[in-house]
Structure 1
């Protein structure tokens, strides 16, 4: 098993490292450059034109390495993981294409993205419950309590999937922030997937292949960081950030750790919460809580360097990943 995990992570890393130097110049020639918000930190203006949609690179690495390394690459579990990840990535790709290539700054409309995201969320849950025997109970982190939700499972978990997927997208605002944070979350899911397989609490067969997929996620994001850390030579775009969110959500559903994902992705959740609070406060009182949201921009505007913000937030992401593993263990009892 350990050999397949190393193969998955190593192959995804190598593919991403090899593809990046070839694709970055292509994206630059095609003028697939990043647009930068005028109301954001002024030092971000120099990032305008940096190639985006780089999520394509690590998606290739993750998918190819996961399928090559899996014990049963055609199992429904692996097909579901790959399919949902690519589905969210496709929504992000269309959004990026409209913004970057067609020069429509808003990209897909919010309702269009939400329809696609909720559709994929329901597809993920339906396959997991009806065909993989996942059930409709949820585990409460840090306890042995399991709640049977029946039909309400689809309501609650679809909201969670869409929220956490978009939270990863919101976190992708500084060089390397989303990729590094997802790397730590992916590492946590390597451990959780193995624990789920050992205790038999995940979906039916080939549970260890989920650990292989998570390992590929770690390798792909690590390889991308070589070109995405400050100063970034390429950005992942919505293509990458939504795909990463979809990958984490898929792992959470298949390992019966949906609520644990909130702990593992605690940094993502806080970033999303900062946006919600900012909007709610401004619309109700006319005042802003933060200098700018998401939260990482607030710390930039109070004087932190971009690299300092990323390092501190990575540290928080690592702590959340460890806490998530700890919180998952009691649910196995």
Structure 2
């Protein structure tokens, strides 16, 4: 029975995105909600200027509708599901404001970094308060060991760091056609399996709903992209995957399953640190996917390679978390 629910969740979210996109994309065009390409980016990206953005709205809508339908139809929504939807919608709304400001004022930067950070922290604090209200453990388990570290009050700091960090990490990965859509589908699929292995079926359904939504979006986001998800989608996905890892008590394994997001972020940190301390750059451009582009790789080759890396890391993460 539950296997059918999982399959239906995947199909419903996929169909919602696929069927709404041909209606929503022309609507974005009429509103002139086109992407502004930053001048310091790869020159080949300038031709993408004007491509409709904020497609992440479709992803968030699909996740919301699918999750609630499947919960109300086959079981009662748990507090974990409502919390996951809160984080997804909260970070999605933050991304929407960022995207809207970029478009309305015709500039590459939307919310200031301080405004965005405050919003991310507030959502993370509310998330933590709900967790503590439901007496979730503050222990962080180290994979492949019986060792657990009780963070106590410091767990609140960890939660904020985890949600803010991964929402930004996923956001940085959204730089090439189909790159984030594909890597996100793989990573959330891995967590759906982890949730299933823990009999956390609600979280598994939620994760699969995201897989279907981003795969449906990928139909229109693959190179050459007809629509971009914008910060609306990337921040929502980043917050969601961090929240899932916390609720499953698989926080550390996210570093394996989400290795692509981590590597992309590290490339930016190393690039900035190197330039500020030595005046030299490690990469031709960061995040890392741009380095390979400027090294002569085609955009599609970079994307497929990162998908492959994400798949291998997800398989490794599942192996460590489920079978070891």
TM-score, normalised to structure 2, is: 0.96
List per-residue Cα deviations over 1:113-172 (Å, max 9, x = no partner).
1111111112222212322x3210111123232211101111123212211111100000
Partner in structure 1 of residue 205 of structure 2: 212
Partner in structure 2 of residue 146 of structure 1: 148
Greater CA deviation, 33-42 or 47-56? 33-42
Partner in structure 2 of residue 42 of structure 1: 43
- 2:266 and 2:8 map into 1 onto residues whose CA distance is 37
Partner in structure 2 of residue 105 of structure 1: 108
Partner in structure 1 of residue 172 of structure 2: 170
Q: How many residues align?
A: 321
CA drift of 1:330 comes to 6.8
List per-residue Cα deviations over 1:73-93 (Å, max 9, x = no partner).
542111111111000000000
Partner in structure 2 of residue 91 of structure 1: 94
- 1:15 and 1:245 map into 2 onto residues whose CA distance is 21
CA drift of 1:249 comes to 1.2
- 1:125 and 1:265 map into 2 onto residues whose CA distance is 22
What is the aligned counterpart of 1:126 among 108, 126, 129?
129
Equivalence map 1:213-228=2 (5 Å): 213-228=206-221
What is the aligned counterpart of 1:182 among 181, 184, 198?
184
- 2:186 and 2:198 map into 1 onto residues whose CA distance is 18
- Is the counterpart of residue 323 in structure 1 residue 316 in structure 2? yes
- 2:321 and 2:148 map into 1 onto residues whose CA distance is 12
Greater CA deviation, 156-165 or 21-30? 156-165
Q: Secondary structure in 1 aligned to 2:40?
A: coil
What is the aligned counterpart of 1:310 among 303, 306, 309?
303
- 2:322 and 2:140 map into 1 onto residues whose CA distance is 14
Partner in structure 1 of residue 137 of structure 2: 135
Say if 1:185 and 1:265, in contact at 8 Å, map to a contact too. yes
Partner in structure 2 of residue 200 of structure 1: none
Say if 2:141 and 2:149, in contact at 8 Å, map to a contact too. yes
- Is the counterpart of residue 266 in structure 1 residue 259 in structure 2? yes
In the alignment, structure 2 segments of 5+ residues that lack a partner are: none
Partner in structure 2 of residue 75 of structure 1: 78
TM-score, normalised to structure 1, is: 0.94
Q: Post-superposition, which runs of at least 4 consecutive aligned residues in structure 1 deviate over 3 A?
A: 71-74
Q: Secondary structure in 1 aligned to 2:137?
A: coil
Greater CA deviation, 177-186 or 100-109? 100-109
Partner in structure 1 of residue 56 of structure 2: 55
